[in-house]
A and B are shown apart, each in its own frame.
Chain A
Amino acid sequence: MVKTTKNTSDHLAKTVEEKLFLIKFCPDTESHVTVNQDICMLCKGKECTKFCPANVFAWSAINNRLVIGYENCLECGLCTIGCPYGSIQYNHPKDSFGRN
């Protein structure tokens, strides 16, 4: 399908990815968000892959594990509240790493 109409508000970002692209991050080399992969493997809902406002969590079916794109984390703290099985550990990024 070819899109023919050009949106007049085309500078407005729509997707999470477009929005994250606008933010300056200074990522650490190790993740400040960690999970217990054994729990995640058994988790049916994989809720974290839907509610995270920065889409930090993605399920990799091939590797059978949760992939954590912590570099994009907005540091809101939702994930520890939202995971129904307490699998997520959140710490602040070290000193001046993280979102700028």
Chain B
Amino acid sequence: MSKTNNSEVIIVGAGPAGLSAAKVLADTGIKTLVLEKTKKCSSKNFFSGIISEEPLKEIFTNFCDHSNGKIMAPFERFVDQYRAYILQEDSFTSFNVQNNKQNSYIVLREQFNSWLLKEAQKAGAQVITGTAAKELIISNGKVSGVKTDSEEFFANVVIISEGVNSVLTKSSGLRVGELRSNQIFTFVEENISLSSGVIEERFNLSPFNGISAKLFTQAMLGMPSIGYIYTNHNSISLGIGILFSELISKGINPNECLEKLKEHSCIKPLITNGTTKNYCSYILPAPSLKSQNDKSLKLFSNGCLLIGGAALIIDIFSWDVSTLAILSGKAAAQTIIRAKELNDYSAKTLAHYLPLVNELHEIPLQDDNLNMLNNFNESILQRK
């Protein structure tokens, strides 16, 4: 079984969080290995999403070509407008907030993550795909590597960036107990193809521009929920998240909620004649979780750090959910760079990660308009 493989840092999971950490570490010459369970990077999380230029372009410096300003990362459309739809039983209202700064992008995760991965590789990180980490290797009370189905890998530090469905985090005892059903939202998303012309006409957009929309509804079969639409180049992504405990107690399948949404008089005309291309499901922690969970989740231990979705460093209200994940990856990398200087990877040194994470939750949004929408967001959800 065990071939020995040594690196300084092992990163489990090539999502935005893990790849940001990998890039920062590789840039400083630290020998970094990324393990990703899917064959193509993040192909299971095919869905689309919003990526903000900050803080990504500081980490991935090839994000745009500095000589002519051209964006080098693969993206679908600029976010031209943020839109809120408020859906009532059979009517709706909507309002727009213009994004004049052209500083955020709609991306398809599979393409975008593959680009992040290549950039991390170019910086010197080693990446192995199609390989899941199954167990942490612990010796003398310190995490010293990971086991896969067929091999063992060793390092000074392991960063866990496996996302919210965190099997490794649970099995290693960094998260004690299972999340409860009233602590998570369950999301289902469908990708529907439409020609780019039809998308521009239906959403009133000029070419290359897109919208990021949130759908607020109090009438989704009587359950707290939040929906969203992203316009990709020639498809749209339509999704809805429902408080899981409500779904269970009402005995409803999440797909029923998505179908109800598709039939709504606001949504139906937007997707008519489209073709369903893909379907996925994922979970996100509910906003109430953070404070309750502090005791049951450890963000670091001897030789190990937790970042991104696995650390529940995610803000469900945000219009750009991966920024926090990316910043937590950067914070972990900075912590490790410091630990290397001290040649001490114990919990004592890695504890420097905590204040960096706490700072993340206090970062102000750059845009007042977005702030306004977010406050609106929060008040609607809390009212149910």
> Interface on A for B, CB 8 Å cutoff?
8-9, 11-16, 18-20, 22-23, 45, 47, 50-55, 74-78, 80-82, 86, 90-92, 94-96, 98-100
B15-23, B200-208, B269-277, B357-365: which lies at the A interface?
B269-277
B116-124, B174-182, B213-221, B298-306: which lies at the A interface?
B174-182
Kindly report which residue of chain A lies nearest to residue B43, judged by CB atoms: A100
Sorted nearest first, the 6 A-B pairs with minimum C-beta distance are A77-B165, A19-B279, A11-B275, A13-B276, A53-B281, A96-B130
B223 in the interface, Cβ–Cβ < 8 Å?
A: no
A26–B72 Cα distance when bound, in Å, is: 33
B97 in the interface, Cβ–Cβ < 8 Å?
A: no
User: Contact at B167–A9, with CB atoms within 8 Å?
Assistant: no
**B41-65 contact mask (Cβ, 8 Å, vs A): 1 or 0:** 0011000000000000000000000
B1-9, B78-86, B247-255, B313-321: which lies at the A interface?
B247-255
Q: Which residues in B have their C-beta under 8 angstroms from that of A80?
A: 178
Q: Which residues in A have their C-beta under 8 angstroms from that of B255?
A: 15-16, 19, 53
User: Contact at B181–A9, with CB atoms within 8 Å?
Assistant: no
- Given A53-B186, A81-B184: A76 and B282 interface contact (C-beta under 8 Å): yes
User: Contact at A91–B167, with CB atoms within 8 Å?
Assistant: yes
Kindly report which residue of chain A lies nearest to residue B37, judged by CB atoms: A92
User: Contact at B244–A9, with CB atoms within 8 Å?
Assistant: no
Kindly report which residue of chain A lies nearest to residue B274, judged by CB atoms: A12
User: Contact at B281–A54, with CB atoms within 8 Å?
Assistant: yes
A28–B280 Cα distance when bound, in Å, is: 20
Could you list some 24 contacts between A and B, CB below 8 A?
A9-B273, A12-B262, A12-B274, A13-B279, A20-B279, A22-B279, A23-B278, A50-B253, A53-B186, A53-B253, A53-B255, A53-B281, A75-B165, A76-B165, A78-B186, A78-B244, A81-B181, A81-B184, A82-B181, A86-B178, A95-B132, A96-B130, A99-B44, A100-B43
> Interface on B for A, CB 8 Å cutoff?
37-39, 43-44, 130-132, 134, 148-150, 164-167, 178-181, 184, 186, 188, 190, 192, 244, 247-248, 251-255, 259, 262, 268, 271-283
Kindly report which residue of chain A lies nearest to residue B255, judged by CB atoms: A16
Chain A nearest CB, measured from B327 CB (Å): 24
Contact of B253 among A14, A20, A51 (CB under 8 A): A51
Q: Which residues in A have their C-beta under 8 angstroms from that of B164?
A: 77
**Most A C-beta atoms less than 10 A away, residue of B271, B272, B279:** B279
Chain A nearest CB, measured from B9 CB (Å): 22
User: Contact at A53–B276, with CB atoms within 8 Å?
Assistant: no
Chain B nearest CB, measured from A51 CB (Å): 6
Q: Which residues in B have their C-beta under 8 angstroms from that of A22?
A: 276-279
User: Contact at B43–A81, with CB atoms within 8 Å?
Assistant: no
**Most B C-beta atoms less than 10 A away, residue of A47, A76, A94:** A76
Contact of B275 among A12, A78, A90 (CB under 8 A): A12
**Most A C-beta atoms less than 10 A away, residue of B273, B276, B278:** B276
A16–B257 Cα distance when bound, in Å, is: 12
> What is the number of contacts between chain A and chain B, taking CB atoms within 8 Å?
115
Chain A nearest CB, measured from B308 CB (Å): 15
- Given A54-B281, A90-B167, A94-B149: A76 and B186 interface contact (C-beta under 8 Å): yes
User: Contact at B253–A16, with CB atoms within 8 Å?
Assistant: yes
Chain B nearest CB, measured from A8 CB (Å): 6
User: Contact at B271–A12, with CB atoms within 8 Å?
Assistant: yes
Contact of B149 among A14, A74, A95 (CB under 8 A): A95
User: Contact at A9–B272, with CB atoms within 8 Å?
Assistant: yes
User: Contact at B283–A78, with CB atoms within 8 Å?
Assistant: yes
- Given A47-B248, A53-B254, A95-B131: A74 and B280 interface contact (C-beta under 8 Å): yes
Chain B nearest CB, measured from A53 CB (Å): 4
Contact of A19 among B134, B166, B190 (CB under 8 A): B190
Q: Which residues in A have their C-beta under 8 angstroms from that of B167?
A: 77, 90-92
Kindly report which residue of chain B lies nearest to residue A90, judged by CB atoms: B167
A19–B280 Cα distance when bound, in Å, is: 9
Kindly report which residue of chain B lies nearest to residue A17, judged by CB atoms: B255
A74–B134 Cα distance when bound, in Å, is: 19
Q: Which residues in A have their C-beta under 8 angstroms from that of B181?
A: 81-82
Q: Which residues in B have their C-beta under 8 angstroms from that of A12?
A: 192, 262, 271, 274-276
